[in-house]
Amino acid sequence: MNELINYSKKKIASASNVFKRYLFERIDTDRQLIGIKGARGSGKTTLLLQLLKDKNKSEVLYVSLDNLYFTNNSLYDLASAFSKRGGKYLYIDEVHKYPNWSQEIKNIYDSMEDLKLIFTSSSALEINKGKYDLSRRAVIFDLVGLSYREFLEFKYSIKLPAVSFVDIMSKHEDIVDLYLNNIKPLKYFEEYLEIGYYPFFKKEGKFYHQQLAQTINIVIETDLPAIYNVDYNTVLKLKKILFLLGEMVPYIPNLKKLAQQVGTTRDSLLKYLHLLHNAHILKWLGRDSFGINFMNKPEKLYLDNTNIAFALTKNADLGTLRETFFLNQVSAESKVTYPEVGDFMVDDEYLVEVGGKSKDYKQIAGINNSFIAADNIEYGNGNKIPLWLFGFLY
């Protein structure tokens, strides 16, 4: 245990506090149990370490459950020993790498009320469907990739406030006036679309897209099998789906044809698409605002974010990038569904068509609460809103 404590101290000390993600201020560390889900590379570990930095060093412990220590030692026994030594904050990384993690965390929660737990997991982990449902005990957060706003702060130290979707729709012209005093938003927008979503772009530099492709591969080969117990044949099919869709998105699914191309059944294909959606590799767009159900087919499929498009394809389509950006950024804070006309319905209220600066209202003419999110404009006018502004939601 002393080795774990020493390792924890080094990790916490090495974590930078210069830039903090949007979730940092939303997490109440006095709660007894918190879960943070997120894609590999989204910054979950850094967030945990930052949350521990301002606490009493003798009362905190960071552990990752892929540590070899846990091959012969249980998480529960570690928590018990740590609690007896006066520990108050136990932050647990990579829970999906540990068998029976939900049972042991439940037991810790029930028997050590003074111990505050935060755990992280892959975005693919369905916490409420485990053997021991922790969703009633834990507050669960999703950590998505960097917003355009966060990217500007992280890379260029341009710090601007976030704004709500409702405020953008109702007073975007006033908001843009404030932002344009500090930034030329189109100057950095293409760079964000290409490399700005995952924080590790800073470390990887010119090898970023190669590393991102490898990260996606690890998720499919390692994380999904650990969570869903899928076999090697399924892994190959997941890779084939991603290869096929990488060049086709946004894709209106012909499930029969796609299933034949992949070499599987329609029902199995839907399950595979559901896995890739949960892993934040694909984005499943349906008509149902109550969530994704793999028994109902998606109306449209996108890659999760624009950076993945650049990692998987040589010539990313500009129109696709625009739609992917809007869906990715807005769905982090709102429900986005597929409408009868237009590109996206947000929170069952706002109809949005995405396009370039010359995009007109022809497709959505006469529809109440309909808007255009237009690329390559700094200012909007009326119901035409700059696309870049939707990168300031978190």
| Span 135-181, pLDDT tens digits | 789 999 999 999 999 999 999 999 999 999 999 999 999 999 999 99
Burial class (CB in 10 A: 0-12, 13-18, 19+), 222: middle
pLDDT in tens, 268-322: 999 999 999 999 999 999 987 555 555 578 899 999 999 999 999 888 899 999 9
- The two three-digit tokens of residue 249, written as one number: 């998105």
Cα of first residue to Cα of last residue in the chain, in angstroms, is: 38
Q: Identity (one letter) of the amino acid at 10?
A: K
For CATH 3.40.50.300, the residue range(s) in the chain are 2-143
Q: Identity (one letter) of the amino acid at 360?
A: D
Phi–psi pair at 118, nearest 5 degrees:
-130, 130
- The two three-digit tokens of residue 159, written as one number: 């710090």
pLDDT at 291 (0 to 100): 53
Q: Tell me, which fold does domain 2-143 have in CATH? A: Rossmann fold (3.40.50)
**Residue 52 contacts residue 79 (beta carbons within 8 Å):** no
- The two three-digit tokens of residue 46, written as one number: 């850094």
pLDDT at 292 (0 to 100): 54
Q: Identity (one letter) of the amino acid at 261?
A: Q
- Which residues, given as ranges, of the chain have pLDDT below 70? 128-131, 289-295
pTM of the entire predicted model = 0.93
Phi–psi pair at 354, nearest 5 degrees:
-105, 135
User: Alpha helices, DSSP H only, in 230-317?
Assistant: 232-246, 255-262, 266-278, 306-312
pLDDT at 57 (0 to 100): 95
pLDDT at 130 (0 to 100): 58
- The two three-digit tokens of residue 81, written as one number: 């020993």
Distance of CA 176 to the CA centre of its chain: 26
Kind plus residue range of the DSSP H or E element containing 266: helix 266-278
pLDDT at 131 (0 to 100): 58
For residue 346, what are the contacts with CB-CB under 8 A and spacing of at least 6? 165, 330, 334, 335, 336, 352
